[in-house]
Structure 1
Amino acid sequence: MIRHLLAASLLFAAPASLAAQETLPDNLAERMAGARSAEATARQMGEVLQANAIAQRQYAGMVAGDLGGGYRGALSLPGEDLGVWLTTIVGQPGGEDAPLVALAEYEIAQGEILAETIFPAGQAPVLDGDRVAMARAQIVAPRAVIAAPEASFCHDGEDAGESDRTSVTYLTLAMPPREDGSFEAYVLNGPFEGSAMPLGKHYRVDFDEFGVIGSPELLTDTCEIVRWAEDDPELAMSVYVTEFDAGQWPNEIHAFISAQLPMSMGVVTGDIIWPMAGGMIAPPVPAAEAGY
Protein backbone atom coordinates (compact mmCIF):
# COMPACT_ATOMS: atom_id res chain seq x y z
CA MET A 1 0.00 0.00 0.00
CA ILE A 2 1.09 3.61 -0.53
CA ARG A 3 0.74 6.21 2.20
CA HIS A 4 1.30 9.93 1.80
CA LEU A 5 2.61 12.93 3.76
CA LEU A 6 1.64 12.34 7.40
CA ALA A 7 2.56 8.67 7.28
CA ALA A 8 5.89 9.51 5.72
CA SER A 9 6.71 12.10 8.35
CA LEU A 10 5.79 9.68 11.14
CA LEU A 11 7.73 6.81 9.63
CA PHE A 12 10.95 8.77 9.23
CA ALA A 13 10.69 10.81 12.41
CA ALA A 14 13.79 10.56 14.62
CA PRO A 15 14.83 10.09 17.29
CA ALA A 16 12.26 7.68 18.67
CA SER A 17 10.63 8.48 21.98
CA LEU A 18 11.74 6.72 25.16
CA ALA A 19 8.47 4.77 25.22
CA ALA A 20 9.06 3.68 21.63
CA GLN A 21 12.58 2.52 22.44
CA GLU A 22 11.23 0.39 25.28
CA THR A 23 8.93 -1.44 22.84
CA LEU A 24 11.70 -2.33 20.38
CA PRO A 25 12.96 -5.95 20.36
CA ASP A 26 15.77 -7.09 22.65
CA ASN A 27 17.77 -8.52 19.72
CA LEU A 28 17.79 -5.22 17.86
CA ALA A 29 21.59 -5.22 17.44
CA GLU A 30 21.46 -8.61 15.70
CA ARG A 31 18.62 -7.50 13.47
CA MET A 32 20.40 -4.25 12.56
CA ALA A 33 23.48 -6.26 11.60
CA GLY A 34 21.31 -8.38 9.32
CA ALA A 35 19.82 -5.25 7.76
CA ARG A 36 23.29 -3.81 7.13
CA SER A 37 24.35 -7.05 5.42
CA ALA A 38 21.22 -6.91 3.25
CA GLU A 39 22.08 -3.31 2.31
CA ALA A 40 25.60 -4.28 1.24
CA THR A 41 24.38 -7.18 -0.88
CA ALA A 42 21.71 -5.03 -2.53
CA ARG A 43 24.28 -2.32 -3.26
CA GLN A 44 26.48 -4.85 -5.05
CA MET A 45 23.46 -6.21 -6.93
CA GLY A 46 22.75 -2.69 -8.18
CA GLU A 47 26.36 -2.15 -9.24
CA VAL A 48 26.44 -5.45 -11.13
CA LEU A 49 23.12 -4.67 -12.80
CA GLN A 50 24.33 -1.22 -13.87
CA ALA A 51 27.65 -2.51 -15.25
CA ASN A 52 25.90 -5.31 -17.14
CA ALA A 53 23.36 -2.92 -18.62
CA ILE A 54 25.96 -0.38 -19.74
CA ALA A 55 28.05 -3.06 -21.45
CA GLN A 56 25.03 -4.65 -23.12
CA ARG A 57 23.83 -1.30 -24.51
CA GLN A 58 27.28 -0.47 -25.81
CA TYR A 59 27.77 -3.88 -27.39
CA ALA A 60 24.34 -3.81 -29.02
CA GLY A 61 25.21 -0.45 -30.54
CA MET A 62 28.57 -1.62 -31.81
CA VAL A 63 27.08 -4.65 -33.56
CA ALA A 64 24.08 -2.70 -34.82
CA GLY A 65 21.70 -4.77 -32.72
CA ASP A 66 22.81 -8.06 -34.30
CA LEU A 67 23.55 -9.97 -31.09
CA GLY A 68 23.55 -13.35 -32.78
CA GLY A 69 21.88 -16.59 -31.80
CA GLY A 70 24.54 -17.46 -29.25
CA TYR A 71 24.20 -14.30 -27.15
CA ARG A 72 24.08 -15.14 -23.42
CA GLY A 73 23.97 -11.76 -21.71
CA ALA A 74 26.62 -10.17 -19.50
CA LEU A 75 28.44 -10.76 -16.23
CA SER A 76 30.61 -8.51 -14.08
CA LEU A 77 33.52 -9.00 -11.71
CA PRO A 78 35.20 -6.33 -9.56
CA GLY A 79 38.50 -5.06 -10.94
CA GLU A 80 41.68 -4.43 -8.98
CA ASP A 81 40.87 -0.74 -8.57
CA LEU A 82 38.02 0.24 -6.26
CA GLY A 83 34.81 0.98 -8.15
CA VAL A 84 35.96 -0.60 -11.43
CA TRP A 85 33.96 -3.47 -12.91
CA LEU A 86 35.24 -5.91 -15.52
CA THR A 87 32.22 -6.85 -17.61
CA THR A 88 32.05 -9.64 -20.16
CA ILE A 89 29.51 -10.05 -22.95
CA VAL A 90 28.94 -13.79 -23.06
CA GLY A 91 28.22 -15.86 -26.15
CA GLN A 92 27.78 -19.52 -26.98
CA PRO A 93 28.01 -19.79 -30.77
CA GLY A 94 27.33 -23.30 -31.90
CA GLY A 95 24.52 -24.16 -29.51
CA GLU A 96 24.09 -25.28 -25.91
CA ASP A 97 26.89 -27.85 -26.09
CA ALA A 98 29.42 -25.31 -27.37
CA PRO A 99 31.92 -23.53 -25.10
CA LEU A 100 30.95 -20.21 -23.49
CA VAL A 101 33.08 -17.38 -24.89
CA ALA A 102 33.70 -13.68 -24.39
CA LEU A 103 32.22 -11.72 -27.29
CA ALA A 104 33.43 -8.45 -25.76
CA GLU A 105 35.06 -7.14 -22.59
CA TYR A 106 34.62 -3.79 -20.85
CA GLU A 107 36.07 -1.84 -17.96
CA ILE A 108 33.36 0.27 -16.34
CA ALA A 109 33.49 2.76 -13.45
CA GLN A 110 30.96 5.27 -12.18
CA GLY A 111 28.64 4.51 -15.07
CA GLU A 112 31.32 5.20 -17.68
CA ILE A 113 33.14 2.84 -20.06
CA LEU A 114 36.90 3.07 -19.53
CA ALA A 115 37.95 0.40 -22.03
CA GLU A 116 36.31 -1.80 -24.66
CA THR A 117 37.48 -4.89 -26.53
CA ILE A 118 35.25 -6.57 -29.12
CA PHE A 119 36.56 -9.87 -30.41
CA PRO A 120 36.27 -10.73 -34.12
CA ALA A 121 34.11 -13.68 -35.10
CA GLY A 122 36.02 -16.91 -34.54
CA GLN A 123 38.54 -15.29 -32.16
CA ALA A 124 36.41 -14.98 -29.03
CA PRO A 125 38.34 -16.42 -26.04
CA VAL A 126 36.77 -19.32 -24.16
CA LEU A 127 35.66 -18.44 -20.64
CA ASP A 128 37.27 -20.17 -17.68
CA GLY A 129 37.48 -19.81 -13.91
CA ASP A 130 34.96 -17.56 -12.19
CA ARG A 131 33.58 -16.25 -15.46
CA VAL A 132 32.52 -19.59 -16.85
CA ALA A 133 30.98 -20.57 -13.49
CA MET A 134 28.98 -17.32 -13.39
CA ALA A 135 27.94 -17.61 -17.03
CA ARG A 136 26.68 -21.15 -16.49
CA ALA A 137 24.87 -20.04 -13.35
CA GLN A 138 22.98 -17.35 -15.24
CA ILE A 139 21.78 -19.99 -17.69
CA VAL A 140 20.77 -22.72 -15.24
CA ALA A 141 19.47 -20.66 -12.27
CA PRO A 142 16.20 -19.52 -13.91
CA ARG A 143 15.64 -23.02 -15.25
CA ALA A 144 16.05 -24.38 -11.71
CA VAL A 145 13.51 -21.88 -10.40
CA ILE A 146 10.94 -22.76 -13.04
CA ALA A 147 11.48 -26.49 -12.49
CA ALA A 148 11.37 -26.39 -8.68
CA PRO A 149 8.24 -28.20 -7.39
CA GLU A 150 7.74 -25.64 -4.62
CA ALA A 151 8.22 -22.60 -6.87
CA SER A 152 5.39 -20.09 -7.10
CA PHE A 153 4.66 -17.39 -9.64
CA CYS A 154 2.42 -14.40 -10.19
CA HIS A 155 0.15 -13.33 -13.01
CA ASP A 156 -1.61 -9.95 -13.00
CA GLY A 157 -0.90 -9.49 -9.31
CA GLU A 158 -2.25 -12.90 -8.25
CA ASP A 159 -0.69 -16.28 -7.59
CA ALA A 160 -0.36 -18.15 -10.89
CA GLY A 161 -0.93 -21.80 -11.64
CA GLU A 162 1.34 -24.33 -13.28
CA SER A 163 0.39 -23.15 -16.77
CA ASP A 164 1.86 -19.69 -16.17
CA ARG A 165 5.37 -20.81 -15.24
CA THR A 166 6.99 -20.38 -18.63
CA SER A 167 5.49 -16.91 -19.19
CA VAL A 168 7.46 -15.33 -16.33
CA THR A 169 10.07 -12.69 -17.26
CA TYR A 170 13.29 -13.11 -15.28
CA LEU A 171 16.39 -11.00 -14.85
CA THR A 172 19.28 -13.14 -13.58
CA LEU A 173 22.33 -11.70 -11.85
CA ALA A 174 25.33 -13.86 -10.97
CA MET A 175 27.20 -12.26 -8.10
CA PRO A 176 31.00 -12.21 -7.82
CA PRO A 177 32.35 -15.31 -6.04
CA ARG A 178 33.61 -15.17 -2.47
CA GLU A 179 37.16 -16.12 -1.53
CA ASP A 180 36.14 -19.77 -1.23
CA GLY A 181 34.65 -19.75 -4.75
CA SER A 182 30.99 -20.01 -3.73
CA PHE A 183 28.50 -17.42 -4.98
CA GLU A 184 24.83 -16.66 -5.55
CA ALA A 185 22.70 -15.96 -8.57
CA TYR A 186 19.57 -13.86 -8.11
CA VAL A 187 16.61 -14.70 -10.31
CA LEU A 188 14.53 -11.52 -10.22
CA ASN A 189 10.90 -11.40 -11.21
CA GLY A 190 10.42 -8.78 -13.93
CA PRO A 191 10.00 -6.79 -15.93
CA PHE A 192 11.59 -3.70 -14.37
CA GLU A 193 10.17 -0.90 -16.48
CA GLY A 194 7.99 2.19 -16.42
CA SER A 195 6.19 3.05 -13.21
CA ALA A 196 5.71 -0.46 -11.83
CA MET A 197 8.01 -2.96 -10.17
CA PRO A 198 7.23 -6.44 -8.83
CA LEU A 199 8.05 -6.77 -5.15
CA GLY A 200 7.58 -10.51 -4.88
CA LYS A 201 8.64 -13.88 -6.29
CA HIS A 202 12.35 -13.07 -6.38
CA TYR A 203 14.70 -16.01 -5.83
CA ARG A 204 18.27 -16.64 -4.74
CA VAL A 205 20.13 -19.73 -5.98
CA ASP A 206 23.36 -20.76 -4.25
CA PHE A 207 26.35 -22.27 -6.04
CA ASP A 208 29.26 -23.91 -4.24
CA GLU A 209 32.94 -23.58 -5.13
CA PHE A 210 32.56 -26.36 -7.70
CA GLY A 211 29.62 -24.68 -9.42
CA VAL A 212 27.14 -27.19 -8.02
CA ILE A 213 23.70 -25.62 -7.81
CA GLY A 214 21.59 -25.56 -4.66
CA SER A 215 17.81 -25.34 -4.26
CA PRO A 216 16.18 -22.01 -5.21
CA GLU A 217 15.15 -19.93 -2.18
CA LEU A 218 12.11 -17.66 -2.44
CA LEU A 219 13.07 -14.33 -0.83
CA THR A 220 9.78 -12.40 -1.09
CA ASP A 221 6.59 -14.42 -1.19
CA THR A 222 4.06 -11.88 -2.43
CA CYS A 223 2.43 -10.86 -5.69
CA GLU A 224 2.54 -7.16 -4.81
CA ILE A 225 3.50 -4.75 -7.57
CA VAL A 226 4.74 -1.32 -6.54
CA ARG A 227 3.03 1.21 -8.80
CA TRP A 228 3.31 4.97 -8.86
CA ALA A 229 2.31 7.94 -10.97
CA GLU A 230 5.27 9.98 -12.20
CA ASP A 231 3.19 13.19 -12.13
CA ASP A 232 2.02 12.69 -8.53
CA PRO A 233 3.02 15.90 -6.70
CA GLU A 234 3.22 13.94 -3.43
CA LEU A 235 5.38 11.15 -4.85
CA ALA A 236 8.54 12.19 -2.98
CA MET A 237 6.60 12.15 0.29
CA SER A 238 5.01 8.77 -0.38
CA VAL A 239 5.85 5.54 1.43
CA TYR A 240 5.14 2.10 0.03
CA VAL A 241 4.50 -0.25 2.95
CA THR A 242 4.79 -4.02 2.74
CA GLU A 243 4.65 -6.80 5.33
CA PHE A 244 7.43 -9.37 5.60
CA ASP A 245 6.51 -12.27 7.88
CA ALA A 246 9.33 -14.56 6.78
CA GLY A 247 12.17 -12.59 8.39
CA GLN A 248 13.11 -10.37 11.31
CA TRP A 249 14.57 -7.62 9.12
CA PRO A 250 14.32 -6.56 5.45
CA ASN A 251 16.39 -8.71 3.13
CA GLU A 252 18.50 -7.77 0.10
CA ILE A 253 15.48 -7.79 -2.20
CA HIS A 254 13.74 -5.10 -0.16
CA ALA A 255 16.88 -2.98 -0.20
CA PHE A 256 17.42 -3.58 -3.92
CA ILE A 257 13.82 -2.65 -4.78
CA SER A 258 14.00 0.40 -2.51
CA ALA A 259 17.02 1.66 -4.49
CA GLN A 260 14.94 1.56 -7.70
CA LEU A 261 11.89 3.42 -6.34
CA PRO A 262 11.11 7.16 -6.56
CA MET A 263 9.49 6.94 -3.11
CA SER A 264 10.33 5.70 0.36
CA MET A 265 9.50 2.24 1.59
CA GLY A 266 8.50 0.67 4.89
CA VAL A 267 8.91 -3.04 5.68
CA VAL A 268 6.84 -4.37 8.58
CA THR A 269 8.32 -7.33 10.49
CA GLY A 270 6.08 -8.23 13.40
CA ASP A 271 5.26 -5.13 15.40
CA ILE A 272 8.07 -2.93 14.06
CA ILE A 273 8.55 -1.15 10.76
CA TRP A 274 11.84 -0.51 8.99
CA PRO A 275 12.02 2.82 7.11
CA MET A 276 13.89 2.60 3.82
CA ALA A 277 14.89 5.07 1.11
CA GLY A 278 17.30 4.73 -1.79
CA GLY A 279 18.30 1.25 -0.68
CA MET A 280 19.26 2.40 2.83
CA ILE A 281 17.58 0.84 5.87
CA ALA A 282 17.00 3.05 8.91
CA PRO A 283 16.62 1.69 12.45
CA PRO A 284 13.10 0.34 13.02
CA VAL A 285 10.32 2.05 14.96
CA PRO A 286 7.18 0.56 16.51
CA ALA A 287 4.67 0.06 13.73
CA ALA A 288 1.81 1.39 15.85
CA GLU A 289 3.63 4.63 16.58
CA ALA A 290 4.26 5.13 12.87
CA GLY A 291 0.56 4.72 12.16
CA TYR A 292 0.53 1.10 10.93
Structure 2
Amino acid sequence: MKTILPLGFALLCAAMPAAAEDAGEISLTGAEATARAIGFALDEAPPQASSALAAAQAAIAASGHAVCEGGTGRLVALDAPDGVTQVYRLSMPADDTAVFAGGHLRVRVAADGSASEVERIGASCQLIDWDPADPDIDLGVAYLQRPGADRPDPVDLWLSSRIPFAVGVVTPPFVWPLIGGMATSRVEADPDMIEAMTGAE
Protein backbone atom coordinates (compact mmCIF):
# COMPACT_ATOMS: atom_id res chain seq x y z
CA MET A 1 0.00 0.00 0.00
CA LYS A 2 1.05 3.61 -0.36
CA THR A 3 0.32 6.76 1.59
CA ILE A 4 -1.27 9.62 -0.34
CA LEU A 5 -0.36 13.10 0.79
CA PRO A 6 -2.04 16.24 -0.56
CA LEU A 7 1.16 17.54 -2.13
CA GLY A 8 3.21 14.36 -2.15
CA PHE A 9 6.81 14.31 -1.04
CA ALA A 10 7.39 17.92 -2.05
CA LEU A 11 5.31 18.95 0.98
CA LEU A 12 7.46 16.86 3.32
CA CYS A 13 10.72 18.26 1.93
CA ALA A 14 9.48 21.85 2.09
CA ALA A 15 8.30 21.44 5.67
CA MET A 16 11.61 20.25 7.11
CA PRO A 17 14.99 21.88 6.37
CA ALA A 18 17.98 19.69 5.54
CA ALA A 19 20.43 19.14 8.36
CA ALA A 20 23.31 21.59 8.09
CA GLU A 21 25.97 18.94 8.54
CA ASP A 22 24.74 17.07 5.46
CA ALA A 23 26.43 19.39 2.99
CA GLY A 24 28.67 17.03 1.08
CA GLU A 25 29.46 14.83 4.09
CA ILE A 26 27.30 11.82 3.29
CA SER A 27 27.60 10.73 -0.32
CA LEU A 28 25.25 8.13 -1.80
CA THR A 29 26.95 8.06 -5.20
CA GLY A 30 28.33 4.57 -4.60
CA ALA A 31 24.97 3.33 -3.35
CA GLU A 32 23.22 4.74 -6.41
CA ALA A 33 25.72 3.00 -8.71
CA THR A 34 25.20 -0.31 -6.87
CA ALA A 35 21.43 0.11 -7.13
CA ARG A 36 21.72 0.56 -10.89
CA ALA A 37 23.94 -2.53 -11.09
CA ILE A 38 21.31 -4.54 -9.19
CA GLY A 39 18.66 -3.44 -11.69
CA PHE A 40 20.83 -4.30 -14.68
CA ALA A 41 21.66 -7.72 -13.22
CA LEU A 42 18.00 -8.52 -12.65
CA ASP A 43 17.31 -7.84 -16.33
CA GLU A 44 19.90 -10.43 -17.32
CA ALA A 45 20.10 -14.19 -16.85
CA PRO A 46 20.57 -15.52 -13.30
CA PRO A 47 24.20 -15.41 -12.11
CA GLN A 48 26.36 -18.32 -13.20
CA ALA A 49 27.41 -20.89 -10.63
CA SER A 50 30.59 -19.90 -8.83
CA SER A 51 32.33 -20.61 -5.55
CA ALA A 52 31.31 -17.16 -4.28
CA LEU A 53 27.66 -17.76 -5.15
CA ALA A 54 27.77 -21.20 -3.51
CA ALA A 55 29.29 -19.73 -0.34
CA ALA A 56 26.64 -17.01 -0.21
CA GLN A 57 23.80 -19.49 -0.77
CA ALA A 58 25.15 -21.70 2.03
CA ALA A 59 25.31 -18.71 4.39
CA ILE A 60 21.76 -17.66 3.48
CA ALA A 61 20.43 -21.18 4.00
CA ALA A 62 22.14 -21.40 7.39
CA SER A 63 20.69 -18.03 8.44
CA GLY A 64 17.13 -19.33 8.22
CA HIS A 65 15.84 -16.11 6.63
CA ALA A 66 12.88 -16.99 4.43
CA VAL A 67 11.74 -15.19 1.31
CA CYS A 68 8.71 -12.95 1.92
CA GLU A 69 5.48 -14.94 1.75
CA GLY A 70 4.05 -15.00 -1.75
CA GLY A 71 7.35 -13.97 -3.30
CA THR A 72 10.35 -15.61 -4.89
CA GLY A 73 14.03 -15.11 -4.17
CA ARG A 74 16.15 -13.63 -6.94
CA LEU A 75 19.92 -13.80 -6.67
CA VAL A 76 22.23 -11.04 -7.86
CA ALA A 77 26.02 -11.29 -7.69
CA LEU A 78 28.11 -8.14 -8.07
CA ASP A 79 31.90 -8.32 -8.26
CA ALA A 80 34.00 -5.53 -6.79
CA PRO A 81 37.56 -4.52 -7.75
CA ASP A 82 38.82 -5.56 -4.31
CA GLY A 83 37.86 -9.16 -5.01
CA VAL A 84 34.80 -9.13 -2.78
CA THR A 85 31.58 -10.42 -4.34
CA GLN A 86 28.34 -8.96 -3.02
CA VAL A 87 25.49 -11.44 -3.34
CA TYR A 88 21.93 -10.21 -2.86
CA ARG A 89 18.83 -12.32 -2.44
CA LEU A 90 15.88 -10.10 -3.22
CA SER A 91 12.32 -10.97 -2.25
CA MET A 92 10.30 -10.37 -5.41
CA PRO A 93 6.47 -10.34 -5.60
CA ALA A 94 4.79 -12.11 -8.48
CA ASP A 95 3.17 -8.83 -9.58
CA ASP A 96 5.45 -6.30 -11.26
CA THR A 97 3.34 -3.45 -9.83
CA ALA A 98 4.51 -4.18 -6.30
CA VAL A 99 7.65 -4.53 -4.20
CA PHE A 100 8.39 -5.83 -0.74
CA ALA A 101 9.61 -3.14 1.65
CA GLY A 102 12.05 -5.57 3.24
CA GLY A 103 13.01 -9.21 3.45
CA HIS A 104 16.09 -8.68 1.28
CA LEU A 105 19.49 -10.18 2.10
CA ARG A 106 23.14 -9.43 1.34
CA VAL A 107 26.26 -11.55 1.82
CA ARG A 108 29.80 -10.42 1.08
CA VAL A 109 32.13 -13.18 -0.08
CA ALA A 110 35.88 -12.52 0.09
CA ALA A 111 38.38 -13.66 -2.51
CA ASP A 112 39.32 -16.59 -0.27
CA GLY A 113 35.72 -17.83 -0.32
CA SER A 114 34.80 -16.80 3.21
CA ALA A 115 31.30 -15.37 3.59
CA SER A 116 30.29 -12.52 5.87
CA GLU A 117 27.35 -12.60 8.22
CA VAL A 118 24.06 -12.38 6.35
CA GLU A 119 22.66 -8.85 6.41
CA ARG A 120 18.90 -8.43 6.33
CA ILE A 121 17.77 -5.26 4.61
CA GLY A 122 14.37 -4.33 5.99
CA ALA A 123 12.63 -6.47 8.59
CA SER A 124 9.12 -5.93 7.25
CA CYS A 125 7.68 -7.83 4.31
CA GLN A 126 5.01 -5.16 3.85
CA LEU A 127 3.84 -5.10 0.25
CA ILE A 128 4.01 -1.72 -1.46
CA ASP A 129 1.77 -1.85 -4.50
CA TRP A 130 0.22 0.56 -6.94
CA ASP A 131 -2.24 0.89 -9.77
CA PRO A 132 -0.55 2.27 -12.91
CA ALA A 133 -3.90 3.76 -13.95
CA ASP A 134 -4.26 5.75 -10.72
CA PRO A 135 -4.39 9.45 -11.75
CA ASP A 136 -2.95 10.44 -8.37
CA ILE A 137 -0.06 7.99 -8.45
CA ASP A 138 2.55 10.76 -8.40
CA LEU A 139 1.16 12.05 -5.09
CA GLY A 140 1.98 8.83 -3.28
CA VAL A 141 4.73 8.38 -0.70
CA ALA A 142 6.04 5.03 0.52
CA TYR A 143 8.08 4.89 3.71
CA LEU A 144 10.81 2.35 4.35
CA GLN A 145 11.71 2.02 8.01
CA ARG A 146 15.43 1.40 8.53
CA PRO A 147 16.12 1.81 12.27
CA GLY A 148 19.79 1.59 13.12
CA ALA A 149 20.92 2.65 9.64
CA ASP A 150 22.54 6.02 8.98
CA ARG A 151 21.70 6.19 5.28
CA PRO A 152 19.67 4.38 2.60
CA ASP A 153 20.98 1.02 1.45
CA PRO A 154 21.59 0.37 -2.26
CA VAL A 155 18.55 -1.92 -2.11
CA ASP A 156 16.43 1.03 -0.95
CA LEU A 157 17.58 3.01 -3.97
CA TRP A 158 16.83 0.05 -6.24
CA LEU A 159 13.33 -0.21 -4.73
CA SER A 160 12.85 3.51 -5.35
CA SER A 161 13.77 3.00 -9.01
CA ARG A 162 10.87 0.54 -9.32
CA ILE A 163 8.28 2.52 -7.37
CA PRO A 164 6.48 5.17 -9.49
CA PHE A 165 6.18 7.67 -6.66
CA ALA A 166 8.37 9.12 -3.92
CA VAL A 167 10.01 7.04 -1.20
CA GLY A 168 11.11 8.19 2.23
CA VAL A 169 13.79 6.08 3.92
CA VAL A 170 13.38 6.58 7.66
CA THR A 171 16.63 6.46 9.67
CA PRO A 172 15.53 8.25 12.85
CA PRO A 173 15.76 11.13 13.39
CA PHE A 174 16.14 11.66 9.64
CA VAL A 175 14.16 10.91 6.50
CA TRP A 176 15.87 10.54 3.11
CA PRO A 177 13.76 11.52 0.07
CA LEU A 178 14.30 9.16 -2.87
CA ILE A 179 12.77 9.59 -6.31
CA GLY A 180 13.40 7.29 -9.25
CA GLY A 181 16.40 5.66 -7.60
CA MET A 182 18.08 8.99 -6.82
CA ALA A 183 18.61 10.49 -3.36
CA THR A 184 18.52 14.04 -2.10
CA SER A 185 19.78 15.45 1.20
CA ARG A 186 18.22 13.98 4.30
CA VAL A 187 15.65 16.02 6.21
CA GLU A 188 15.21 16.08 9.97
CA ALA A 189 11.93 15.03 11.54
CA ASP A 190 10.89 14.94 15.17
CA PRO A 191 9.63 11.62 16.63
CA ASP A 192 5.97 12.66 16.36
CA MET A 193 6.42 13.43 12.66
CA ILE A 194 8.11 10.08 12.05
CA GLU A 195 5.31 8.27 13.90
CA ALA A 196 2.70 10.07 11.80
CA MET A 197 4.51 9.20 8.56
CA THR A 198 5.19 5.56 9.27
CA GLY A 199 2.52 4.53 11.70
CA ALA A 200 5.25 3.37 14.07
CA GLU A 201 4.27 2.90 17.68
CA distance in 2, matches of 1:2, 1:43: 26
Match of 2:69 in 1: 155
- Of 172, 182, 188, the residue aligned with 2:75 is 172
Structure 1 residues not aligned, in runs of 5+: 57-72, 76-89, 91-99, 101-134, 157-167
Structure 2 residues not aligned, in runs of 5+: none
Give the Å deviation of 1:235.
0.4
CA distance in 2, matches of 1:139, 1:26: 42
CA distance in 2, matches of 1:282, 1:4: 19
Is the 2:73–2:89 contact (alpha carbons within 8 Å) kept by the matching residues of 1? yes
Point out the structure with max Rg over C-alpha: 1
CA distance in 2, matches of 1:218, 1:28: 29
CA distance in 2, matches of 1:152, 1:246: 22
Is the 1:272–1:284 contact (alpha carbons within 8 Å) kept by the matching residues of 2? yes
Match of 2:155 in 1: 253
Match of 1:119 in 2: none
TM-score (norm 2): 0.81
Q: What is the RMSD computed on CA atoms of the aligned residues? A: 2.7
1:229 matched to 2:143: no
| Equivalent position amino acid for 2:185 in 1 | P
Query: Partner of 1:255: helix, strand, or coil?
Result: helix
CA distance in 1, matches of 2:51, 2:101: 26
In structure 2, relative to structure 1, the CA distance for the partners of 1:192 and 1:261 (3 Å cut) is farther
Identity %: 27
1:141 matched to 2:134: no
- Of 165, 190, 193, the residue aligned with 1:263 is 165
Query: Partner of 1:169: helix, strand, or coil?
Result: strand
By relative contact order (CA 8 Å, sep 6+), the higher-ranking structure is 2
Match of 2:30 in 1: 37
1:200 matched to 2:102: yes
Q: How many residues align?
A: 193
TM-score (norm 1): 0.58
Query: Partner of 1:256: helix, strand, or coil?
Result: helix
Query: Partner of 1:214: helix, strand, or coil?
Result: coil
In structure 2, relative to structure 1, the CA distance for the partners of 1:28 and 1:201 (3 Å cut) is farther
In structure 2, relative to structure 1, the CA distance for the partners of 1:269 and 1:214 (3 Å cut) is closer
In structure 2, relative to structure 1, the CA distance for the partners of 1:218 and 1:182 (3 Å cut) is same
